Amino acid sequence: MNREHILPADIERTSMAIITKELEERGITVPEDRAAVVRRVIHTTADFDYAENLHFTEDAVAKAVKRLAQGGAVIITDTNMALSGVSKPSLKKLDAKAFCFMAEPEIEKQAKEQGTTRAVASMAYGAAHYPEAVFAVGNAPTALLKLEELIEEGLRPSLIIGVPVGFVNVVESKEQIFAVCEKYQIPAIVAFGRKGGSNVAAAITNALLYTAADTLDPGRRGWQG
């Protein structure tokens, strides 16, 4: 075992170099504007399928990064797990905020009263209070279906990250949210198929935050090395 790389920054740099090399060996070409997102997701999952199943609307990364770099952006996740994975130093540097409303008593109350899921209620709440937010969905396809409905009604978020994982309504919800985002020219990054998860939602969010904050190299985040 090579024990040369023991500092966090060194490990991440080496991992990204390995990912880049393996993508080349597999004959997979990732457009440069999407490379940071794709590499970050592969780094998180060790799954090279994401190099091909991540779909991007036109200029999605550039538009999202521009919004984040302006400061004051809001990110809304559908799980506290995804929220916990979002880089807090990057949020602070960019004067951005991230929320998950799933565990709020008001959301539970609304879900019960409306006979729906907390994911649906939390997206409706987030959209009502932060209509231009970045919505990062890694678990609940019902959240994506609600966002699709709200977009048809006039919601215009800064970005939709649609990467729920599972077997029921997952594939369909992703295809539908991507189509409606294309229709209304809303930036979207969606993992087609069954794969995804809260960790993937956080990874995509972080790739965008790091790009906006100019900290893709871990050394620029204050890490050792």
Distance CA 144, CA 190 (A): 11
CB count, 10 Å around CB of 20?
A: 14
Q: How far apart are CA 76 and CA 96, in angstroms?
A: 11
183, two tokens: 């229709």
Residue 43 annotated as catalytic: yes
**Catalytic site residue from 5, 43, 55, 129:** 43
Strand partners of residue 160? 135, 188
Roughly what angle, to the nearest 10 degrees, separates helices 198-213 and 32-45? 140
CA angle (202 as vertex; 182, 189 as ends), nearest 5? 15
Q: Which residues are catalytic?
A: 43
